[in-house]
Amino acid sequence: MNKVISTERLPIKLWLDDIESGALAQAKDLANLFYAWKWISIMPDSHQGYGMPIGGVMATQGVIVPNAVGVDIGCGMIAIKTTLKETEITIEAVKEIMGKIRDRIPVGFNHNKEPQSWKGFDDAPDIQIVQQELKSARNQLGTLGGGNHFIELQRSDDGYIWLMIHSGSRNFGFKTAREYHNKAKKLCERWKSDIPNQDLSFLPMETQDGKDYYEAMKYCLRFAEASRALMMEKAMGVVKLVTGADRESEVNIHHNYAAFENHYGKNVLIHRKGATKATVGLQGIIPGSMGTSSYIVEGLGNPESFMSCSHGAGRTMSRSEATGKRKTDRSLDMETELKRMEGVVHGLRNAKDLDEAPGAYKDIDVVMKNQSDLVKVVVKLKPVGNIKG
């Protein structure tokens, strides 16, 4: 841990020195919430979000906060170690693999042309927003989405090729988050609740809306996990077709969710928004940007972070700043970013693609150093091929 801020109702524990002003203001809002417990933990990749900063971890008593989970419920990572050694793959093979994966997995706003099969569709909770989205979700399962979602082929420091995918719950999560945040806002307005702004509106867990949101959220987690698994099955199929390699170990984790956990002898609801669970020995994935290192880690179970760690490198600028749509002196330069991507097969073609370029993100190695008391590195990965959502 880097420092503690003790000026608010609850302490704020920071695993970084350079937190941006907007994220710090949001952390202070969290620390003054009447329903927050113990302290607020801020991970080293933190940056400003809606209501709660990305990279924030908060424990609550009796309430759940939709914006402390976020709009992409269940967004997370899956990584597979293959049997292929990095010395056995050529640049031509990388290009073929990435091209075939792009043909098989829809990205951005594209969906599958045919409904996908998943047994979870048969036991969806009887909650209106979930039932309303079921039909379209059948075509969204196994699709990447856009934003910071990606598929990467990577080489590891143990000499093997890995596959990694970052994706979420698609419209399931977005619609669920929006629906229940609006319900929470109306409730807090009616009660004239003592919260700093509407973005931190909450639902008591004793209410039907609170119970329904929690169940819908858990279903979004299942959907997101199944969606990542389906994409990985397709991507691994391509790797096997091109190289003959098989899969070895697999990790599949979430980083936008809330869960009941016991900390310091008390059962509380832990909200992790852009943060990953890091109990002792639990394997996790911490990606960098599309041109920098990623890490397979094991949790150290640090109680001061509520046994959590970062979910990635964390942004240093918004997408509109990076692409130049928002005119600032921080916009990225295409030539510089292409140099940073040397040696990686990628789709960085024009200014609109710069939103996820390496320069838009913090230095992942500094992020990892800042959380050396939260996780230990198991494997370091470097990208050789990248598909941007």
* The 3-state secondary structure of the chain, one letter per residue: CCEEECCCCCCEEECCCCCCHHHHHHHHHHHCCCCEEEEEEEEEEEECCCCCCEEEEEEECCEECHHHCCCCCCCEEEEEEEEEEHHHCCHHHHHHHHHHHHHHCCCCCCCCCCCCCCHHHHHCCCCHHHHHHHHHHHHHCCCCCCCCCEEEEEEECCCEEEEEEEECCHHHHHHHHHHHHHHHHHHHHHHCCCCCCHHHCCEECCCHHHHHHHHHHHHHHHHHHHHHHHHHHHHHHHHHHHHCCCEEEEEEEECEEEEEEEECCEEEEEEEECEEECCCCCEEEECCCCCCCEEEEEECCCHHHCCEEECCCCECCCHHHHHCCCCCCCCCCHHHHHHHCCCCECCCCCHHHHHHCHHHECCHHHHHHHCCCCEEEEEEEEEEEEEEC
Give me the pLDDT at residue 300, please.
98
- The whole-angstrom separation of Cα 281 and Cα 275 is 17
pLDDT (tens digit per residue) in 107-131: 999 999 999 999 999 999 999 999 9
* Tens digits of residue pLDDT in 10-32: 999 999 998 999 999 999 999 99
pLDDT computed for residue 123 by the predictor: 95
pLDDT above 70 as % of the chain: 99
pLDDT at res. 328: 66
Give me the pLDDT at residue 172, please: 92
Give the pLDDT confidence of 222-261 residue by residue, as tens digits: 999 999 999 999 999 999 999 999 999 899 999 999 999 9
Residue 321 pLDDT greater than 90, yes or no: no
Which whole number is the average pLDDT over 134-145?
A: 96
In this prediction, residue 331 has a pLDDT band, given cuts at 50, 70 and 90, of confident
Average pLDDT over residues 191-218: 97
Q: What is the pLDDT of residue 151?
A: 97
User: For position 280, what pLDDT does the model report?
Assistant: 98
Residue 324 has pLDDT above 80, yes or no: no
Give the pLDDT of residue 389. Answer: 84
Domain residue spans in the chain?
A: 3-316+361-388
3-316+361-388 belongs to CATH 3.90.1860.10: yes
Which of 111, 255, 271, 311 is flagged as catalytic?
Answer: 311
Count of positions (residues) in the chain: 389
Tell me the Ramachandran region of residue 233: left when phi exceeds 0, alpha when psi lies from -120 to 50, beta otherwise.
alpha
Answer whether residue 170 shows pLDDT above 90: yes
Q: pLDDT at residue 329 above 80?
A: no
Model pLDDT, residue 251: 95
The model's pTM: 0.96
* 348 within 8 A of 354, measured Cβ to Cβ: yes
Percent of the chain's residues with pLDDT above 90? 86
Q: What is the pLDDT of residue 217?
A: 98
Report pLDDT for 330: 61
Query: For the residues 315-326, what does the mean pLDDT come to?
Result: 83
* More confident: 372 or 318: 372
pLDDT band at residue 58, thresholds of 50, 70 and 90?
A: very high
> Average pLDDT, stretch 73-102?
96
Instruction: Confirm whether 149 is a catalytic residue.
Output: no
